[in-house]
Copies of this chain bind each other. A is one copy, B any other.
Amino acid sequence: MQKLDGVEDLRVRRTRKLLQQALIEVTVEKGFAALTVRDITRRAMVNRSTFYRHYLDKYDLLEQHINEIYEVLEEEVGIIGEGRHEGLIELLKQIQQFPDFYRVVLSAKADAFLSQRFRQQTQQRVLAYFQQTFPEAVSDPDRPPLDLKFTTVASAGCSALAWWLEQEQPSTPEQFAHWLQQLFYDIAVSTLKPKT
């Protein structure tokens, strides 16, 4: 399990990849909660005991898979493009490269706590974006508390993403980014700034 200069045994890499692919496939078909380790290994054509050599359980598999996808994401997109509009588009393009994966972790197919886990990570990114854009947020007792606003906006963001991925004929990243910004700019200006 330890990497000697980053290169692992070919068989290990093959097995892990097969299992991760199978995970996504089976999750798309019957949902994460309903799926068993057997389902995954049957699909991956890997022995069940081999699964346990690499992962603790299906949650661990998903966890590790998420992390690996994230590493790619961060390498390629960075901290969501430092709040630039182009950064958002890059992010969407990146997401479009693993549509099944994101559909799985975002949609109702995923187990609640895992989708929650993903949402929290994404929230940090999304909020970082807004915090960069509107750093001057102040707290006003008459206005909604900041964490209510954050939670609300982040959840809205994830739902929007999920909506985008579920479309049969998805709009382009550019188009969707445009809509997103309209939605959230409005929310942002109306909630982050003190009432005028």
Interface residues of A, Cβ cutoff 8 Å to B: 31-33, 108-113, 115-116, 143-145, 147-149, 151-156, 158-160, 162-164, 179-180, 182-183, 186-187, 189-191, 195
> Do the beta carbons of A158 and B160 come within 8 Å of each other?
no
CA–CA, A161 and B111, complex, Å: 20
CA–CA, A180 and B151, complex, Å: 13
Cβ contacts under 8 Å, A163 to chain B:
147-148, 151-152
Other A-B contacts than A31-B113, A33-B112, A183-B191, 19 sampled, CB-CB below 8 A, are A108-B116, A109-B112, A110-B112, A111-B111, A112-B112, A144-B180, A144-B183, A148-B160, A148-B179, A148-B183, A151-B159, A151-B162, A152-B183, A155-B155, A155-B159, A186-B186, A186-B189, A186-B191, A187-B190
Q: List 22 A-B contacts (CB under 8 A).
A: A31-B112, A31-B113, A32-B112, A33-B33, A111-B111, A112-B112, A144-B182, A145-B179, A148-B160, A148-B164, A151-B160, A152-B156, A152-B163, A154-B159, A155-B155, A155-B156, A155-B158, A182-B190, A182-B195, A186-B191, A187-B187, A187-B190
